Chains A and B, each alone.
Chain A
């Protein structure tokens, strides 16, 4: 079972914007090969940082409007939130090392 919380337009407010923990939001799609490659790594990181950060994911195939609202136009994309505000994002060329690096930076 996935350790990541599935986020949709219905629970984004509760799970992301009102979260007391910082949030990682992983935008993926079932036809995005690079997203599938990163998934196991993200699952590992979710376990490693379980008590410090909340790990969430958005299936963009079913939540395209939410993705576009958050200005996500490309997969994979990772957004980082603190106190409900976006503080950083990874888009374009990045891998597992950059994701963990950004988790640490966001945690401060």
Chain B
């Protein structure tokens, strides 16, 4: 079995930073990724709050830059999906779809994926009007009317992005105020192509071959109504990609991995960083910070365990 000092599972900003710190500390480091390096940054149009980029940076560009920096100091990269962990031996074993891999210290940076709405029609029309990636699909909706569901940063920022293509975006939010950052909220409230429906939830996504309408309900008045739309973009939060971490306890009710402030999971030498970790603020900058902290403690752990 291939053995490394450190295996980092996931190459989003947390994993890429962990690999950067670990390889720069001359540890033999493997970066595992099942998709594209950069993680959720790849489906983000513009990142405005990562320090060092005063004019903002596109998600794909920042992904490519972070990957280049992570690999510069000799971290190895492999495409594989983690399926399970074996943590009882001296070495930590990551079981993947392309064989087992072993390491002294393990850094879990597997991130999170968009959470579905869970309403009727959502699964049926996925790819036929229901989307979770405005950057991927916005251009198809030129001259169309679309709905965006959610009230956080992602929902509002991507709704604003969609207004560049569409005739109108309706933002459907279940509360009477947005959770998004103030500056983003101000932009949304001032944007002529964006209409916000407050206190409103989606009951069903309707259509024939493709999405044609959403049926909605006002949670305060109980009134139900329908809006004609050609597409529905869903931004209602995240689900952690922690299915392969079942051997790790405890995870939170929602499946996030619990750690201490050193990113340690409670099992010595096993760390969790970024969006998969239970924490308050999930941002590129906090993911990067987690990665640096975990790699530094992993190095300390490896050095001490060899004494």
Q: Which residues of A contact B (CB under 8 A)?
A: 29, 31-37, 40, 60-61, 64, 67-68, 71-75, 77, 91-93
Contacts and interface: CB of A to CB of B under 8 A. Distances in A.
Given A73-B127, A73-B231, A64 B60 contact: no
20 contacts: A29-B136, A32-B133, A33-B35, A33-B60, A33-B133, A34-B42, A36-B36, A40-B79, A61-B139, A64-B139, A68-B140, A71-B210, A73-B140, A73-B231, A74-B126, A75-B133, A75-B137, A91-B126, A92-B123, A92-B127
Contact of A37 (B36, B128, B129, B131): B36
A74 B35 contact: no
Contacts of B127: 73-74, 77, 91-93
Interface residues of B, number: 25
A64 B140 CA distance: 7
Query: Max chain A CB contacts within 10 Å: which of B35, B42, B130, B139?
Result: B139
Contacts, number: 72
Contacts of B139: 29, 60-61, 64
B43 interface: yes
A54 to B, nearest CB: 23
Contacts of B231: 73
Given A73-B128, A91-B127, A91-B128, A34 B133 contact: yes
B116 to A, nearest CB: 10
Interface in B40-65: 42-43, 60
Contacts of B135: 31-33
A72 B129 CA distance: 9
> A-side binding surface: helix, strand, loop or mixed?
loop
A74 B136 contact: yes
A32 B136 contact: yes
A33 B136 contact: yes
Nearest to B35: A37
A32 B136 CA distance: 5
Nearest to A39: B36
B136 A73 contact: no
A33 B42 CA distance: 5
A34 to B, nearest CB: 7
Contacts of B210: 71, 73
A95 B236 CA distance: 23
Query: Max chain A CB contacts within 10 Å: which of B123, B137, B142?
Result: B137
B126 A73 contact: no
A44 to B, nearest CB: 12
B209 interface: yes
Given A64-B139, A73-B210, A33 B129 contact: no
